[in-house]
Chain A
Amino acid sequence: MVAREILSRNYKQVIYLGLFLSLAIPLFNPIGLPVPVQKTTLGVYNKIESLKSGDVAVIGSNIGAAIYAEVYPQYIAILEHLLRKPGVKILLVGHGTEAPIWAERALKELNAYNRKSYGTDFVHLGYIAGEEAAIASLCRDVHSLLKVDYSGKPLSDLPMMKDIGSAKDFAIVIDFTASADSQYWLNQAYASYGTPVGFGLTAIKVPDAYAYYMAGQIFGIIESLSGAAQYENLIHKPGMAVTGMDAQSLAHLLYIALIIMCNVIYVTQRRTKK
């Protein structure tokens, strides 16, 4: 009786409370609502799964504050997956000035410096200036382009770098970006050396890249926050993307439920009036 009275008079407040709960609960306690895995995401996952000990994965870390929300969770998930693969070597490189800051932040967040040994398992090259030309020379010969890593250590002191010469030695390249630089890797690494390339992109960049995917030129794409959430589920480590997607899913379900409810009430009321 009381509940009914409150509902009819204060239905808006009840709806607001419902939305608050559907947003707040996943933030405290991620539910892990199913996020269907797209084949583009699965492409990236399978490619990394197939890496063998000794393979080198190049990560283009072109993250900036503007695309952070969409791309950083992807970046974390992929790095985590790579760190778990024994013997796989990771080479981090970017061509935006902000790139090294985000890369270091991710490495610290994942505790990479303690889990693996720097120099043998992974190397952070920092950022290289010069757009596509720089990528081209990196693919031609890493050592002639760069002498030191991000922190200034000579590359010759890093054991892992001894086996890496040109793009032929890269097993895969995954570029995280919102700009045209994904094209650079496709032109330089894939077209010239046949190195498989994959992308982690913001939602607006996906349609362009999808054409390459359909043509078989890239092995996979991680699309925005939902791609990141799919990846977090694939590696069984729900994180910020899953939490965000949980809240999004619950809220969308609530909206749809409200639309349906209002129509059910509307139709029944009209029937009784007749």
Chain B
Amino acid sequence: MIDSATLSILISTTLILAIYTILYRENPAFRIGEHLMVGATVGHAIVLAIFQIRDLAWRKFQSGFATGNLSGIAYIIPMILGVFLYFQFSSKLRYLARISIALMLAVGLSLSIRGLIFVNVIGQIQGALAPLTSIQNIVYMIGVVCALLYFVYEQRASKLAGPLPKIGRYVLMLTMGAYFANTIMGRLSIVIGTLTSVFVAPAWYLIPVAFLIVIADVFIRRKSSTAS
């Protein structure tokens, strides 16, 4: 009898290998992993959502109701708005769903405006205010100005800027190349972590099996493609 820890390792390694087979081609093993993953994560999200509604809204409402705290009682509103979302399937009461969406959208957009103007705009302008006493700072300033001018969309205005927006486009491409390469180390550490976890017995025995299945499939497909 295998204990639950070994069983867990065997199942998870099988899943890891099944997911990796997508690199070869779409196949039943990947589909099993994929559908298991979708089912599991949706189930997980349902559990979380139920607990969230209970802890974030229902309990606050209950205790608010008991103590007469108005902001607690008010938590009935998001629960009603939550139910409103389901009216979008009704052709007559669809507008109710829009109210709930309006609330969520308002929260998201205003929080984004708060944060992005503060951190992105003000923070970055602040960072760019270095005294022009070194060649480096002068080059940086020209670079950031060009890159900003690339994002000017009004055609007459962008023509006035001459070649600067074009230079800005190159600056952006340079940035993108650098940021692309800079993510690689982190991504590699994750694969290395996964590989280290499957290169241990008993998980390790499954790897040759997976490779054999893939190689067999390659030959079967070659034969059938040459036959037809």
Contacts and interface: CB of A to CB of B under 8 A. Distances in A.
Interface stretch (B60-68, B77-85, B192-200): B192-200
B218 to A, nearest CB: 9
B70 interface: no
Q: Is the interface of B mostly helix, strand, loop or mixed?
A: helix
Interface of A: 12-13, 16, 23-24, 27-28, 69, 244, 247-248, 251-252, 255
A16 B184 CA distance: 15
Contacts of B24: 13, 16
A36 to B, nearest CB: 16
A249 to B, nearest CB: 10
A28 B199 CA distance: 9
15 contacts: A13-B23, A16-B24, A23-B188, A23-B191, A23-B195, A27-B192, A27-B195, A27-B196, A27-B199, A28-B199, A69-B189, A247-B188, A248-B185, A248-B189, A252-B184
A24 B184 CA distance: 17
Nearest to A12: B23
B23 A247 contact: no
Contacts, number: 29
B192 A244 contact: yes
Contacts of A69: 189
Given A13-B23, A244-B189, A248-B185, 8 more contacts: A12-B23, A16-B23, A23-B188, A24-B199, A27-B192, A27-B195, A247-B192, A248-B189
Contacts of B199: 24, 27-28
Contacts of B23: 12-13, 16
B7 to A, nearest CB: 25
B195 A248 contact: no
Interface of B: 23-24, 184-185, 188-189, 191-192, 195-196, 199
Contacts of B188: 23, 247-248, 251
Contacts of B184: 251-252, 255
A24 B197 CA distance: 12
Contacts of A27: 192, 195-196, 199
B32 to A, nearest CB: 20
Contacts of B192: 23, 27, 244, 247-248
A65 to B, nearest CB: 14
Contacts of A252: 184
A23 B23 CA distance: 16
B185 A24 contact: no
Nearest to A251: B188
Contacts of A251: 184, 188
- A-B residue pairs, 4 tightest by C-beta: A16-B23, A247-B192, A251-B188, A248-B188
Nearest to B23: A16
A120 B189 CA distance: 39
A257 to B, nearest CB: 14
Nearest to B194: A23
B21 to A, nearest CB: 11
A251 B196 CA distance: 16
Contacts of A16: 23-24
Contacts of B195: 23-24, 27
Nearest to A70: B189
A247 B190 CA distance: 12
A17 to B, nearest CB: 9
Contacts of B191: 23
A69 B196 CA distance: 13
A82 to B, nearest CB: 27
Nearest to B185: A248
B65 to A, nearest CB: 41
A12 B24 CA distance: 8
A16 B22 CA distance: 11
B217 to A, nearest CB: 12
B226 to A, nearest CB: 11
Contacts of A12: 23
A27 B188 CA distance: 13
Contacts of A28: 199
A69 B189 CA distance: 10
Contacts of A23: 188, 191-192, 195
